[in-house]
Copies of this chain bind each other. A is one copy, B any other.
Amino acid sequence: MKIFRKLRLQELLYNKKDKRLATAIKLMVGRKPLNLSLFKLAVKHSSAAEETKHGIKVSNERLEYLGDAVLGTIVAEHLFIKFPYRDEGFLTETRSRIVNRESLNQVGKKIGLEKIVESDLTEKGFFTHKSIYGDTLEALVGAVYLDRGYYFCRKFVLSRIISPHFDLDNIINTTINFKSKIIEWSQKENREVDFLLKSITGSQRFKEFTVELKIDQEFFTEGKGPTKKKAEQEAAKNACEKLKLAI
């Protein structure tokens, strides 16, 4: 099988569509696929899933699960090495600003996944599957990992996803004000947002504030933090995530 792959004999069996995908992957990833079926799967959105004779739906969701983990590790290590003097709170926060649905979706579009994703979505479907390119990007990372191994995949992620599409300095220096984000949203949508201080627990030195965020008088999210302001930010952040607001 290895020799078969080395001689690229499988390419003789490619049909026109396969050739097109193999070329697209080479442009995106930097190397031709060794196992094209992985990439065929990676670009298959669940709306275009085929059902096997055993009733199993085959789509890119399993690869997305794998790629999400691999991507998380690669970015975790990258930040770990880049910021030797920052604590794990900073690293976690910075990572989640890179690896989140909205930003991955934008990168997925930029690297051209729109052109190769197989989906079967109506216009309404695209609205409910907002993150189709971000999901496909994760699946692509999973496919690259299985096709060429961890270290090649790391090189691909860092040189073709992170470094050209994320400005780390910018990401770090932007403190997102989630509270103003959610208030802005409420005004646009004509909804009423309230922050309620629910409890203060802990000792004199280490207080923990719990704030509840209500939308139209109904509980929506909560947040905790060492100050009231931070708890409000946390509650607002959770609300932004729940509402899938672009940040």
Contact = CB atoms under 8 A, between A and B. Distances in A.
Contact of A76 (B65, B77, B87, B222): B65
Contacts of A65: 76, 80, 88, 91-92
Given A61-B88, A62-B91, A219-B222, 10 more contacts: A62-B80, A62-B87, A65-B91, A65-B92, A66-B76, A66-B80, A69-B76, A70-B76, A72-B73, A219-B219
Interface of A: 54, 56-57, 61-62, 64-66, 69-70, 72-73, 76-77, 80, 85, 87-88, 91-92, 145, 150-151, 198, 212, 218-219, 222
21 contacts: A54-B85, A57-B87, A61-B87, A62-B80, A62-B87, A65-B76, A65-B80, A65-B88, A66-B76, A66-B80, A69-B69, A69-B73, A69-B76, A69-B77, A70-B76, A72-B73, A73-B73, A150-B150, A150-B151, A219-B219, A219-B222
